[in-house]
Structure 1
Amino acid sequence: MAAVLPLADLKKQVRPATWINTIIKGDCVAALEALPDHSVDAIFADPPYNLQLGGSLHRPDQSLVDAVDDEWDQFASFDAYDAFTRAWLLACRRVLKPNGTIWVIGSYHNIFRVGAIMQDLNFWLLNDIVWRKTNPMPNFKGRRFQNAHETMIWASRDAKSKGYTFNYDALKAANDDVQMRSDWLFPICSGGERLKGNDGKKIHPTQKPEALLARVIMSCTKPGDVVLDPFFGSGTTGAVAKRLGRNFVGIEREQDYIDAASARIAAVEPLGKAELVVMTGKKAEPRVAFNVLVESGLVKPGQVLTDAKRRYSAIVRADGTLAANGEAGSIHRLGAKVQGFDACNGWTFWHFDDGKSLRPIDDLRAVIRNDMAKMD
Structure 2
Amino acid sequence: MKINTILQGDCVEELKKIPDNSIDLIFADPPYNMQLKNALYRPNNTKVDGVYDEWDKFSSFAEYDEFCAAWLKECKRVLKDTGSIWVIGSYHNIFRIGNIMLNTGFWILNDVTWYKTNPMPNFLGKRFTNATETLLWCSKGENYKKYTFNHKLMKKYNGDKQMTSVWQIGLCIGEERLKGDDGKKAHSTQKPEELLKRVILSTTKQNDIVLDPFFGTGTTGAVAKKLKRNYLGIEKESEYISFAKKRIDSIKTFFPEADWQEEEKQKQDRISFELLLKEQIIKAGEILYTNKSYNAEACVLADGKLEYNNQVGSIHKIGTIIQQSPSCNGWKFWYITRN
Alignment TM-score, normalising by the size of structure 1: 0.70
1:276 is matched with: 258
Match of 1:76 among 59, 62, 68: 59
Q: Deviations over 1:343-364 (max 9, x none)?
A: 7xxxxxxxxxxxxxxxxxxxxx
Contact kept, 8 Å, 2:226 with 2:258, in 1: the verdict is no
Q: Deviations over 1:132-160 (max 9, x none)?
A: 00100000000000000100000000011
- Distance, in Å, in 1 between the alignment partners of 2:236 and 2:175 is 25
> Which residue identity is paired with 1:115?
G
1:361 is matched with: none
**Residue 143 (structure 2) pairs with residue 176 (structure 1):** no
> Offset at 1:275?
5.2
> Offset at 1:58?
0.1
**Residue 10 (structure 2) pairs with residue 23 (structure 1):** no
> Which residue identity is paired with 2:260?
V
Aligned residues: 272
**Residue 189 (structure 2) pairs with residue 206 (structure 1):** yes
**Counterpart secondary structure, 1:169:** helix
Contact kept, 8 Å, 1:27 with 1:253, in 2: the verdict is yes
**Counterpart secondary structure, 1:145:** coil
**Counterpart secondary structure, 1:34:** coil
1:63 is matched with: 46
- Distance, in Å, in 1 between the alignment partners of 2:86 and 2:202 is 11
> Which residue identity is paired with 1:23?
I
- Aligned structure 1 segments of 4 or more residues deviating by more than 3 angstroms: none
Q: Deviations over 1:7-53 (max 9, x none)?
A: xxxxxxxxxx22x0000000000000011001100000000000001
1:137 is matched with: 120
1:146 is matched with: 129
Contact kept, 8 Å, 1:75 with 1:81, in 2: the verdict is yes
> Which residue identity is paired with 1:113?
R
1:119 is matched with: 102
1:5 is matched with: none
Contact kept, 8 Å, 1:227 with 1:248, in 2: the verdict is yes
> Which residue identity is paired with 1:212?
L
> Offset at 1:342?
5.2
- Distance, in Å, in 2 between the alignment partners of 1:38 and 1:160 is 16
1:237 is matched with: 220
Match of 2:174 among 167, 179, 191: 191
- Distance, in Å, in 2 between the alignment partners of 1:261 and 1:277 is 24
**Counterpart secondary structure, 2:16:** helix
> Offset at 1:271?
2.5
Contact kept, 8 Å, 1:167 with 1:278, in 2: the verdict is no
Structure 2 runs not aligned, ≥5 long: 270-329, 333-339
Q: Deviations over 1:85-139 (max 9, x none)?
A: 0000001000000110000000000000000000001100000000000100000
- Distance, in Å, in 1 between the alignment partners of 2:264 and 2:213 is 35
**Residue 34 (structure 2) pairs with residue 39 (structure 1):** no
1:104 is matched with: 87
> Offset at 1:217?
0.3
Contact kept, 8 Å, 2:26 with 2:79, in 1: the verdict is yes
> Which residue identity is paired with 2:259?
V
> Offset at 1:173?
1.7
Contact kept, 8 Å, 2:226 with 2:254, in 1: the verdict is yes
Alignment TM-score, normalising by the size of structure 2: 0.78
Contact kept, 8 Å, 1:46 with 1:105, in 2: the verdict is yes
Alignment RMSD, CA only?
A: 1.6
> Which residue identity is paired with 2:103?
D
> Offset at 1:281?
3.8
